[in-house]
Chains A and B, each alone.
Chain A
Amino acid sequence: GAGVSQSPSNKVTEKGKDVELRCDPISGHTALYWYRQSLGQGLEFLIYFQGNSAPDKSGLPSDRFSAERTGGSVSTLTIQRTQQEDSAVYLCASSSPDSSGNTIYFGEGSWLTVV
């Protein structure tokens, strides 16, 4: 597609439920990132996929969070047993084959509200 696509754009869920957030990166981009942006806060790194390498999961805040990337393209971020503090915008980004100078493009984000 033309840009990074995320779905759903908005999700309201009850505390304790599981949620899945989807990201379709730009075609051909091998690097994919997930970030979290809480209200009035900066961007918190969650996880980074680069090609066939093992993902960098160092930013995942707890074992309730997991992510996978199938076929080197689409990625799903799963949050189990959601808590109110999980409410945030979850941003996905992608970039072309690895070079530190390559532009990283962001999606519009998935707004998650846990009630």
Chain B
Amino acid sequence: GDSVTQMEGPVTLSEEAFLTINCTYTATGYPSLFWYVQYPGEGLQLLLKATKADDKGSNKGFEATYRKETTSFHLEKGSVQVSDSAVYFCALRSPGGKLIFGQGTELSVKP
């Protein structure tokens, strides 16, 4: 069945460091891919998405490119801030199917 694998956390970075959170997926069809974020004490929010191969989703300085050849959707940000500290979830949804999440990666950014 469809699945998502994320790099394990926690990830601890200093402010202004470069961030990469790896995400790979397994799917039989052509899923849409998502990154959701959960800030401390808050609900899940969509961060960005891509619906087809080579699409790049971007929001709040974060980017992720849908790579069909490597079945990946890695999340990147050039310069993280303390306010980016949160748990990040990679997810996929196949047509007609349910949203499937990775295990989540906790990011902690220190001043």
Task: List A residues at the B interface (Cβ < 8 Å).
Answer: 33, 35, 41-43, 45, 48, 50, 56, 91, 93, 98-101, 103-109
Q: Identify the closest chain A residue to B98 (Cβ).
A: A48
* Given contact pairs A42-B102, A50-B96, A105-B46, a sample of 10 additional A-B residue pairs in the complex whose CB atoms are under 8 Å apart: A56-B97, A91-B43, A91-B44, A93-B44, A100-B93, A100-B95, A103-B46, A106-B44, A106-B45, A108-B43
Q: Identify the closest chain B residue to A3 (Cβ).
A: B43
Let me know if B32 is at the binding interface, CB within 8 A. yes
Pick the contact of A93 from B97, B99, B103 — CB < 8 Å?
Answer: B99
**Complex: A101 Cα to B96 Cα, angstroms:** 10
Set of chain A residues within 8 Å of B45, measured between Cβ atoms? 106
Mark each residue of chain B from 80 to 94: 1 if its CB lies under 8 Å from any CB of chain A, else 0: 000000000100011
Could you write out 26 A-B pairs with CB less than 8 Å apart?
A33-B98, A33-B99, A35-B101, A41-B103, A42-B101, A42-B104, A43-B44, A43-B104, A45-B99, A45-B100, A56-B97, A56-B98, A91-B44, A93-B99, A99-B95, A100-B31, A100-B32, A100-B94, A103-B46, A104-B34, A104-B46, A104-B93, A104-B99, A106-B36, A108-B43, A109-B43
Task: List B residues at the A interface (Cβ < 8 Å).
Answer: 31-32, 34, 36, 43-46, 49, 51, 89, 93-104
Q: Identify the closest chain B residue to A44 (Cβ).
A: B101
